[in-house]
Homo-oligomer: A and B are copies of this chain.
Amino acid sequence: MSLNTFGHLFRVTTWGESHGPAIGCTVDGCPPGIPLTEADIQPWLDKRKPGQNKFTTQRKEPDEVRILSGVFEGRTTGTAIQLMIENTDQRSKDYGDIAQAFRPGHADITYHQKYGHRDYRGGGRSSARETAARVAAGGVARATLAALVPGLTITGYMVQMGARGIDRSRVDLASIGNNPFWCPDPVAATDWADYLDQLRLSHNSVGAVIEVIATGVPAGLGAPLYGKLDSDLASAMMSINAVKAVEIGDGMAAAALTGVENADEIRMGPNGPEFLSNRAGGILGGISTGQPVVCRFAVKPTSSILTPRQTINQRGEEIDLITKGRHDPCVGIRAVPVGEAMMACILLDHLMLDRAQTGSQRGTIG
């Protein structure tokens, strides 16, 4: 079974292969009356677009999105929104070598084993190219959130490249657009540039950790017990290509804490409850607290490298394989806007779930 849809009420169904004629998605359930044009979506696609510098794949795709349905006279109609992005720069010849071979670390072998028949060109459906459709859907979610929850912000950035982290004391979110890594620590960014250059030239690649933070999220979002906000974020982020771990708030580090340390103590502020810390990452019992929602995920190093690796082919022969083609030395870079898009979709989905059940009712404090 393949399941190409996510979301409970704000539902996104993606389609398309890396080297097919186009990719895209259907965004279903979007509230009506939301101002929306291609220009609201395109900037996010541009942020993810390949070929922008030497640290991302040299495939050149304009990634121009077209809205084919669900929008009339510049506003959403509440019906299914179809978004399409044509593929223009496919170089399938790069992939003749791997039609029968399984690249280590790739889904080639599992798609073959599961489906028997697969589009091997550029990874076909398992290619990270699919994430362009997510980013387009995220653009719709962002535009809708902007209309429904003024002041909500979503920001993604890289906090670790390989083993090299950032210095949290130097973080300046305003600076993340100033370097090719969406890195909030300018010193780390310079270091990473040298490091990645070196790796690239030595035919290697490296992993990364991305953090996505949402502020202005109303308290009360999350659908316990099996549609918890953190549970849905975990699923969403883990579904991104190459992601191997997801953390909320302190994440893995929470295991090392004692209960005394871990308690986010609560005081009463002028506008309601205020937490003295945010180890929980803005979520308690699967429901948002009103604090910033903090989510991190680890991206493994790009599997497609020019260093030969041992593998087998479909006939069961043992071979050594170099993966040619145009690949990102650190695929985590382009995962930043994808993580933001998933955050936007999940938050909007939960906003809708919440108003379905509780309407405008809310427990009050004070």
Contacts and interface: CB of A to CB of B under 8 A. Distances in A.
Interface string A128-166: 001000000000000000000000000000001011000
A1 B357 contact: yes
A266 B80 contact: no
Contacts of A365: 109, 112-113, 312, 314-316
A164 to B, nearest CB: 9
A285 interface: yes
A206 B21 CA distance: 43
A80 B15 contact: yes
A82 B163 contact: no
Interface stretch (A172-180, A182-190, A298-306): A298-306
A68 B20 contact: yes
Given A104-B264, A268-B318, A358-B31, A284 B234 contact: no
Contacts of A287: 107, 110-111, 113-114
A106 B233 CA distance: 20
A270 B107 CA distance: 22
Q: Is the contact region of chain A dominated by helix, strand, or loop, or is it mixed?
A: mixed
Interface string A74-112: 011111111000000000000000000010111101111
A19 to B, nearest CB: 10
Contact of A68 (B22, B29, B79, B280): B22
Interface centre among A24, A32, A285 (most CB of B within 10 A): A285
Contacts of A111: 285, 287
22 contacts: A1-B9, A1-B353, A5-B11, A6-B226, A15-B82, A31-B357, A70-B125, A77-B125, A79-B224, A107-B286, A107-B287, A113-B365, A199-B258, A207-B255, A235-B235, A246-B246, A250-B300, A260-B309, A267-B318, A268-B317, A276-B310, A279-B300
